[in-house]
Amino acid sequence: MKFRRIGAAAAAATLALGLAACGGSDDGGDKLKIGIKYDQPGLGLKEGNEYTGFDVKVAEYVAEKLGTSEDDIEWVQAPSAQRETLLETGQVDMIVATYSITDSRKEKVSFAGPYFIAGQDLLVRADDDSITGPDSLDGKRLCSVSGSTSAQTVQEEVPGVNLQEFGTYSECVSALQSGAVDALTTDDTILAGYAAQPQYEGQLKVVGNSFTEELYGIGIQKGDVEKCEQINEAITEMIDSGDWQTAFDETLGTADFVPGPGNPPEPEPCS
Ligand code: GLU
């Protein structure tokens, strides 16, 4: 018993020395901080200390090309409404979180990419045939997330809808399941990820009538053209090497989601 304890202490000391020798600092100062979603299966999902999804794989690929190993990534939760602020205040170095490139966001942040094209759609309960698209939403209780293009678009397109905005899409899914709302609107990618979860099997369905084009970019600090160009190079390489397809097949592909037309996209020039 005593021996074992000494052994453990010695092992811990060796480990500590090993870490110091590798130049690892314990304040995390040299980490690359990447904002992702924590509750979107197939895209960005945190389960314990495991991070999975297509956005996570894109982020890891890009980080490696920027010279950062997986161990030196610090994941940060980036809810839709907080993404610009997280970048502006330097709490993250980049954001890979189903983040659509838009002109109004470009006033505060810059984007590399796009690395994926999604489209806004609707998720309803499996037995509901009354909602077939944005045209049938008048008077319905619809859930979406604050600070998302999804909430903004539906508010503009369907003024007669009863929109309830939550902080995350997983809260909307619970509300849909319990009957507190009639539908959830956001990108088809996100909806497919939820619908494929074993706990919702047979209960939820994606309407399959997408009505916008969402170009997913990698958000960075405004005006960092050099980093944007490095990231675009990494995205292009990921696509050309086939790693983009593999990453997709291993993540959202397992939810039977097929990328729509235009995928994989070509990154836009940085400015
Ligand atoms: N892609 C849309 C957006 O950036 C909806 C998904 C999200 O909120 O992350 O607003």
Q: Check if 214 has its Cβ closer than 6 Å to any atom of ligand 1.
A: yes
Q: For 139-166, how does the pLDDT look when each residue is reduced to its tens digit (9 = 90+)?
A: 999 999 999 999 999 999 999 999 999 9
Q: Is 212 in the pocket of ligand 1 (CB under 6 A)?
A: no
Residue nearest to atom 9 of ligand 1 (CA): 98
Among protein residues, the one with the nearest Cα to ligand 1's atom 8 is: 148
- Tell me the fold of 8-118+214-255: D-Maltodextrin-Binding Protein; domain 2 (3.40.190)
Would the CB of 170 count as within 6 Å of ligand 1? no
Q: How far is the CA of 213 from the centre of ligand 1 (A)?
A: 11
Decide: 153 in ligand 1 pocket, CB within 6 A: no
Q: Determine the distance from the C-alpha atom of residue 121 to the mean position of all C-alpha atoms in its chain, rounded to a whole number.
A: 16
Q: Which atom of ligand 1 is nearest to the CA of 147?
A: 10
User: From the alpha carbon of 100, which atom of ligand 1 is closest?
Assistant: 4
Angle in degrees, CA 103, 107, 113, rounded to 5: 55
Residue 110 near ligand 1, beta carbon < 6 Å: no
Q: Do domains 8-118+214-255 and 120-206 have the same CATH topology?
A: yes
Q: What is the pLDDT, as a whole number, of residue 29?
A: 61
Distance from CA of residue 192 to its chain's centroid? 13
Nearest residue to 123 (alpha-carbon basis) of 212, 53, 43, 210: 210
6 CA → ligand 1 middle, Å: 52
Q: How many whole angstroms separate alpha carbon 22 and alpha carbon 72? A: 12
Residue 33 one-letter amino acid? K
How confident is the model over 33-57, as a mean pLDDT?
A: 98
pLDDT for res 30: 85
Would you state the pLDDT for residue 201? 87
149 C-beta closer than 6 A to ligand 1: yes
Q: What is the pLDDT of residue 14?
A: 45
Topology given in CATH for the domain delimited by 120-206: D-Maltodextrin-Binding Protein; domain 2 (3.40.190)
Q: What is the pLDDT of residues 197-252, one digit of tens each?
A: 999 989 999 999 999 999 999 999 999 999 999 999 999 999 999 999 999 999 99
- Which amino acid, 265? P
Return the best residue to mutate from 36, 37, 43, 98 for the ligand 1 pocket (most ligand atoms within 8 A of CB). Answer: 98
| pTM given for the model | 0.90
Cβ atoms within 10 Å of 21's Cβ, excluding its own = 8
Q: Which residue has the higher pLDDT, 6 or 34?
A: 34
**pLDDT (tens digit per residue) in 11-37:** 444 444 444 444 444 454 689 999 999
Q: 99 C-alpha to center of ligand 1: Å?
A: 5
CA of 170 to the centre of ligand 1 (A): 13
User: Is 186 close to ligand 1, i.e. is its CB under 6 Å away?
Assistant: yes
Domain boundaries, the chain: 8-118+214-255, 120-206
Number of the ligand 1 atom closest to the C-alpha atom of 102 = 4
User: Model confidence over 102-130: pLDDT tens digits?
Assistant: 999 999 999 999 999 999 999 999 999 99
Residue 98 CA, closest ligand 1 atom number: 9
In the chain, the amino acid numbered 113 is G
pLDDT value, residue 82: 98
